[in-house]
Amino acid sequence: MKIETLFMDSHIKPCEETDYIIEKTGLKPEYVKDSKVVYDYVNASDDPVSKGKQTLYITENHGAVIKQCPGTSHYTCCDYTILHTGTFCTMDCSYCILQAYFHPPVLQYFTGQEKIFSALDGLFAQNKTFRVGTGEFTDSLIWEKISNLPAKLVKKFAEQQSSKFRMPVQSGSMINPSVLELKTKTVNIDSLKDIDHNRKTVIAWSLNTPSIIKSEEKNTASLGARLKAAKKCEQWGYRLAFHFDPLVIYDGCESDYKEVIRSIFADASSGGFGILPESIVWISLGTFRFMPPLKQIIEKRFSHSKIAYGEFITGLDNKMRYFKPLRIALYQEIVSSIRQYAPDLLVYFCMEDREVWEKSLGFFPEKEGELGQMLDKSVLKRCC
């Protein structure tokens, strides 16, 4: 959706960062002393969720810039680190949890790049691998159209070894590098083209079948456009990742998901994009799950959608999930399809239990932190 209204916190001093956004949006900001003005404006709409997607609020993040992903104690967690640079999204997926997460949901851009960079210096100084993502509360690359932050983050991660806070390493190779993961459903990659990224940024696409993209992922890029952008990034030397999340169960979904996998790996002469397995750092899989209140929002905002009507049970984290044998059956099909093209590629589950891991992948990362260590190893293998 197009941003139509721009608010700016009047406590923020205009600077290069804010001028850039204002220029790119082409909108005249309304300066507000209190965020309540913005929230009241959004809430006055018949559809505050849509209004929130068209209303950008340039403000400050008064909380932590860096957070550990909350995960849950019941399902295996990947120990992700969240870089909190903004909230919400201009695209409109029926299943998006952010619709129910923020009250009201508003597109917020947090200014203060110095604060972000100094928080990152604090991470780099620990000489430990952090997998850092900006795509937890927003889409990482919707911002690329209006902000120079994504490109600056790529440069920041590329230069981590020379950070004055980082302990020197002898061999010249980087020990325990951290990586930035930019996760998106857009094709907004132009400003990332000529950056010396030093392979410390992973550009990740959430993928789904053309039929789910059409029915449930409004305003997102098509599957072909996402894979074309991924191929370009591969040619620019970036490492890639793919997230099949949410996998949606419907008649014929298995063959549709296999076709998506074929499109990733098969070469151009067979109609695929020929992405090399060694360019991919990881692929994650997660079937559709949702907190019960999201169902009402989907019914109200996406009356055509059938996504919330399936064989669901309540999981240990109170989220609705597909009945376990159905999840396992779909995972097995997808894993075996990926293995045909990329036997050694790291595939993992987001928020699944032991039985699902063992029956679908043949092992379970039992020890605390084990999944995180597997992902870190893949960073060492692919990003150094």
Site residues for ligand SF4 per CB under 6 A: 89, 91-93, 96, 98, 139, 185, 220
Tokens of 11: 């406590």
Of 142 and 280, nearer to ligand SF4 (C-beta) is: 142
Of 93 and 281, nearer to ligand SF4 (C-beta) is: 93
CA distance 115 to 100: 28
CA distance 384 to 380: 6
Closest CA to 99 of 296, 288, 244, 287: 296
Most distant CA atoms of the chain, gap in Å = 61
Of 9 and 92, nearer to ligand SF4 (C-beta) is: 92
> What is the chain's alpha carbon radius of gyration, rounded to the nearest angstrom?
21
Buried-exposed string 133-157: b where 16+ CB fall within 10 A, e elsewhere: bbbbbbbbbbbbebbbbbbbbbebb
Q: Provide the minimum distance between the beta carbon of 362 and ligand SF4 in the complex, in angstroms, as a whole number.
A: 30
Residues 349, 338: contact at Cβ < 8 Å?
no
Q: Provide the minimum distance between the beta carbon of 280 and ligand SF4 in the complex, in angstroms, as a whole number.
A: 20
Q: Provide the minimum distance between the beta carbon of 95 and ligand SF4 in the complex, in angstroms, as a whole number.
A: 7
Whose tokens are 């390493």? That residue is 169
Of 302 and 357, nearer to ligand SF4 (C-beta) is: 302
Q: Residue 104: phi, psi to the nearest 5?
A: -85, 165
Of 122 and 224, nearer to ligand SF4 (C-beta) is: 224
Q: Provide the minimum distance between the beta carbon of 135 and ligand SF4 in the complex, in angstroms, as a whole number.
A: 8
Q: Provide the minimum distance between the beta carbon of 286 and ligand SF4 in the complex, in angstroms, as a whole number.
A: 12
Tokens of 260: 């998506």
CA distance 188 to 306: 29
Of 220 and 284, nearer to ligand SF4 (C-beta) is: 220
SS3 6: strand
Q: Provide the minimum distance between the beta carbon of 253 and ligand SF4 in the complex, in angstroms, as a whole number.
A: 18
